């Protein structure tokens, strides 16, 4: 009788230890991954002052700073890159703030791939095909007020959208605005999903399976380019994002990428990097002395009397004369009834005769 009772006590202690171990395991996972989870702030740029417009979550997937989040988190910065920017914070790691570059987006999957520069600890991506109903999960992110929040739950269903084109993990964990883009972890500490949406009042808390995220990552062709300038130490902007100074090794996608190189008292360089740029290319640029001289440009059109706008400002009718400074770019629009609108960007260096001749086309 005594021996039987002792065995029962030992079994109870063993079960209690297993439960404690499971709780400790989640804490250990959190300690390992918290520095890889980022807060994303979309900033509105107005008169040189940045104000926070929206925020969300994301997670680092590579040692060199590639980040995954939802497209809807960074939508404004994607649509209006000159008016909105993206800041990345690692509140559980340090106080540093990074400016993010958008590498790629998928509107169909509501995913975005961002880039910051440095050395980072990435999350490990798991396999969402191995998930089963009632599996334990952990959602981590920066919802609502932006405080770091951890919630645990289970996988309660597999869902699909109305067109059966996008699958979702349906979680028992309540998601909130700001959770979007944050990782969903399994019991092994691997990312198995990305928190995406919640349907209030219906207990639908949806995450995109990580295997769909992997397909998106694999679909993006990234290239490494070294950007050099003479003289050096010039600011480099990629798609309006300041990423560093020359010389600098940058990452770009296979899509058209706008590159600007700026240095005080030097003519700015603006080029479009298209798909012809090869991986591991070295791009070299010569910065010329800034031309501050004023030039008179004459604008003609055939037929005449077309209404002229320069950078959106009405100037007069053709023929007319405008004043430009150095090689700065300016946009000329000429409109005339029954003729197609002419709109083109010019600069003095492309006008050797200081004259713009436009043949208007009939509608």
**Residue count (the chain):** 363
User: How confident is the model at residue 2, as a pLDDT?
Assistant: 45
pLDDT of 72 > 90? The answer is yes
pTM of the predicted model, to two decimals? 0.77
Domains 221-286 and 294-359 share a fold: yes
pLDDT of 326 > 90? The answer is no
User: How confident is the model at residue 280, as a pLDDT?
Assistant: 95
* pLDDT grade for 11, boundaries at 50, 70 and 90: very low
d(CA 259, CA 225): 12
Mean pLDDT for 69-81 is: 93
User: How confident is the model at residue 124, as a pLDDT?
Assistant: 96
Whole-number average pLDDT of the chain? 88
Token readout for 135 is 């599996």
Q: What is the pLDDT of residues 302-313, one digit of tens each?
A: 999 999 999 889
pLDDT of 355 > 60? The answer is yes
How far from 228 is each of 127, 232, 239, 286, CA to CA, in Å?
41, 7, 17, 9
The answer to whether domain 294-359 has CATH 1.20.1300 is no
Query: Of 290, 356, 297, 351, whose CA–CA distance to 324 is shortest?
Result: 297
User: How confident is the model at residue 9, as a pLDDT?
Assistant: 38
Mean pLDDT for 166-190 is: 92
Element (H, E) at 242: strand 241-245
User: How confident is the model at residue 16, as a pLDDT?
Assistant: 41
User: How confident is the model at residue 164, as a pLDDT?
Assistant: 66
* pLDDT grade for 18, boundaries at 50, 70 and 90: very low
Mean pLDDT for 215-220 is: 92
Domain ranges for the chain = 2-26, 221-286, 294-359
Highest averaged pLDDT of the listed ranges 24-33, 38-47, 67-76, 171-180: 67-76
d(CA 200, CA 153): 17
d(CA 341, CA 337): 9
Name which residue leads in pLDDT, 241 or 254: 241
Mean pLDDT for 311-326 is: 92
Mean pLDDT for 152-157 is: 92
d(CA 3, CA 332): 96
pLDDT of 25 > 90? The answer is no
User: How confident is the model at residue 6, as a pLDDT?
Assistant: 39
User: How confident is the model at residue 93, as a pLDDT?
Assistant: 81
End-to-end Cα distance, the chain: 103
Longest pairwise C-alpha distance within the chain: 113
The answer to whether domain 221-286 has CATH 2.60.40 is yes
- The share of the chain scoring above pLDDT 90, in percent, equals 65
d(CA 309, CA 313): 5
Task: Decide: 124 and 190 in contact? Cβ < 8 Å.
Answer: yes
Task: Decide: 266 and 234 in contact? Cβ < 8 Å.
Answer: yes
d(CA 165, CA 168): 10
d(CA 162, CA 269): 48
CB neighbour class for 233 (10 Å; exposed up to 12, middle 13-18, buried from 19): exposed
Residue with tokens 């070299």: 284
> What b-and-e string marks burial along 189-228, b requiring 16 or more CB atoms within 10 Å of the CB?
bbbbbbbbbbeeeeebbbbbbbbbbbebbeebebbebebe
CA 86 to chain CA centroid, Å, is: 7
* pLDDT grade for 48, boundaries at 50, 70 and 90: low
pLDDT of 228 > 60? The answer is yes
User: How confident is the model at residue 81, as a pLDDT?
Assistant: 86
Q: In 3-state terms, what secondary structure has residue 178? A: coil
pLDDT of 17 > 50? The answer is no
**35 backbone dihedrals φ, ψ, rounded to 5°:** -75, -15
């Amino acid at each position: 009788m005594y021996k039987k009772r002792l065995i029962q006590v030992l079994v109870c202690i063993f079960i209690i230890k297993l439960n404690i171990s499971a709780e400790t395991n989640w804490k250990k996972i959190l300690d390992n991954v918290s520095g890889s989870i980022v807060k994303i702030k979309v900033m509105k740029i107005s008169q040189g002052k940045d104000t926070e417009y929206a925020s969300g979550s994301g997670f680092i997937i590579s040692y060199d700073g590639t980040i995954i989040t939802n497209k809807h988190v960074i939508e404004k910065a994607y649509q209006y890159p000159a008016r909105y920017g993206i800041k990345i914070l690692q509140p559980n790691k340090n106080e540093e703030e990074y400016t993010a570059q958008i590498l790629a987006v998928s509107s169909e999957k509501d995913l975005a791939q961002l880039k910051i520069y440095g050395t980072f600890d990435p999350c490990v991506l798991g396999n969402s095909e191995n998930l089963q109903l009632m599996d334990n999960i952990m959602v981590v992110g920066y919802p609502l007020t932006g405080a770091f929040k951890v919630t645990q739950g289970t996988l309660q269903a597999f869902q699909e959208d109305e067109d059966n084109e996008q699958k979702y993990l349906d979680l028992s964990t309540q998601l909130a605005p700001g959770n979007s883009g944050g990782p969903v972890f399994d019991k092994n500490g691997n990312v198995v999903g990305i928190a995406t949406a919640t349907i209030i009042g219906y207990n639908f808390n949806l995450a995109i399976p990580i295997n769909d995220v992997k397909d998106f990552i694999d679909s993006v062709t990234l290239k490494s380019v070294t950007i050099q300038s003479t003289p050096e130490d010039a600011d480099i902007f990629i798609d309006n994002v300041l990423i560093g100074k020359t010389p600098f090794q940058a990452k770009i996608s296979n899509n058209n990428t706008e590159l600007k190189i700026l240095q005080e008292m030097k003519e700015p360089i603006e080029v479009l990097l298209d798909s012809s740029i090869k991986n591991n290319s070295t791009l070299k640029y010569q910065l010329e002395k800034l031309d501050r001289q004023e030039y008179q440009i004459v604008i003609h059109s055939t037929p005449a009397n077309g209404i002229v706008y320069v950078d959106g400002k009405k100037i007069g009718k053709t023929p007319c004369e405008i004043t430009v400074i150095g090689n700065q770019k300016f946009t000329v629009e000429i409109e005339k009834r029954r003729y197609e609108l002419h709109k083109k960007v010019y600069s003095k260096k492309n006008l050797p005769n200081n004259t713009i001749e436009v043949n208007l086309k009939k509608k």
